Amino acid sequence: MSRKVVGVDIGGTKLLGGVVDEQLEVHDRVHRLVEGLSESALIEAIVESVTELLEHHPDVRAVGFGIPCLIDQRDGNAVMCVNLPLSNIPFRDVMSERLGLPVYIDNDANLATLVEARFGAARGARDVIGLTIGTGIGGGLFLNGQLYRGHAGSGAELGHMVIDENGPRCQGNCPNHGCLESVASGTAIGREGRVAAEEDSDSALARAAFAGQEITGELVTQLALAGDEVSRMVLGHIGRQLGIGFANFVNIFNPEVIVVGGGAMAAGDLLLDPAREEMRARGLRPNREQVRIVPARFGVEAGMLGAGSLALDALD
């Protein structure tokens, strides 16, 4: 009988959990919005979500969590989150006590990168950069065939590389201006979409705003895919900002593959093509010719599947 675990991906706005087996087949799923919750309410929402899965799958043996936090792997503490209200909490121990199962945790983007490198869009590559683009931008480093986490396990915060010191204030608990996250995330797409709607009253974005719709990254993407030129220009601008980040990663790490996932990847090549072009203009030879920039195979479920893989590895 195949072993089963629960994998949970907690993002800045949503939680996605699933019962995962050794073939990465997902037997059950749970979705929950977590945006705007206090720390205590967030903990309760997480426990309730996992408990819901455990009630239907009593054969689950462990739980893996991917959370958008700086994590001290020495003690399982969630040290600091940019977009969630978790700070210096012994997350691993709290969850293990509440759920009655072994619990394993890592940064959500680390886990998304791990599963894409092992089984997904970067399978077979030994040097992989992973980005998850949603509310913010998470990063993962898979170097020489294994995850690189840094001294205490809280490295690879690639979304908080500053690319414009005079750029927009970064969000949440980040103290910086001009981080990659602040100029190329799903949140940034929405912000630039609102600016474009104000500047071009004839655009579909302006009409949507006039009709009372909230201009979000998701709406900008929908309108761009439907052919709205202003929305496409917004995605092109964001893609070029993303490409500056890619060029830095290419110059520093010389990866074989950059895998890009997260909700913002609904835009597909409308986002990635200008990013690739900008990377080729700024990257050094031969690195820029050696890298492939590809969408994640597992899409928005990469973090959940990576969390499941983390728990399955621990059972070996």
pLDDT tens, 197-227? 989 888 899 999 889 899 999 999 999 999 9
Does 87 fall in a domain? yes
| pLDDT > 60? residue 168 | yes
Closest CA to 156 of 58, 251, 54, 69: 69
| pLDDT > 90? residue 174 | no
165 and 104 within one domain? no
Determine what percent of the chain is predicted with pLDDT higher than 70: 100
User: What pLDDT is recorded for position 247?
Assistant: 97
- In whole angstroms, give the CA distance from residue 183 to residue 240: 10
| pLDDT > 90? residue 193 | yes
Range of the domain at 228: 123-296
Does 49 fall in a domain? yes
Does 85 fall in a domain? yes
268 and 136 within one domain? yes
103 and 213 within one domain? no
User: What pLDDT is recorded for position 177?
Assistant: 94
Does 117 fall in a domain? no
Closest CA to 243 of 275, 288, 198, 197: 275
224 and 167 within one domain? yes
Confidence of residue 39 (pLDDT cuts 50, 70, 90): confident
Does 118 fall in a domain? no
User: What pLDDT is recorded for position 1?
Assistant: 56
Mean pLDDT of the chain: 91
User: What pLDDT is recorded for position 200?
Assistant: 86
**Which pairs with CB-CB distance under 8 Å and at least 24 residues apart come from 20-27?**
20/304, 20/305, 20/308, 20/309, 20/311, 20/312, 22/312, 24/115, 24/119, 24/305, 24/308, 24/309, 26/301, 26/304, 26/305, 27/57
159 and 89 within one domain? no
Residues paired with residue 107 on neighbouring β-strands, in sequence order? 67
Does 139 fall in a domain? yes
Q: Identify the H or E element spanning 107.
A: strand 103-107
Confidence of residue 54 (pLDDT cuts 50, 70, 90): very high
311 and 179 within one domain? no
Q: State the burial class of residue 301 (Cβ atoms within 10 Å of its Cβ: 0-12, 13-18, 19+).
A: buried
98 and 10 within one domain? yes
239 and 166 within one domain? yes
244 and 159 within one domain? yes
172 and 92 within one domain? no
User: What pLDDT is recorded for position 251?
Assistant: 96
Give me the number of domains the chain comprises: 2
> What is the CATH number for 155?
3.30.420.40
150 and 108 within one domain? no
Q: pLDDT, tens digit, for every residue of 93-143? A: 999 999 999 999 998 889 999 999 999 999 999 999 999 998 889 999 999
220 and 93 within one domain? no
Does 275 fall in a domain? yes
Q: pTM for this one?
A: 0.87
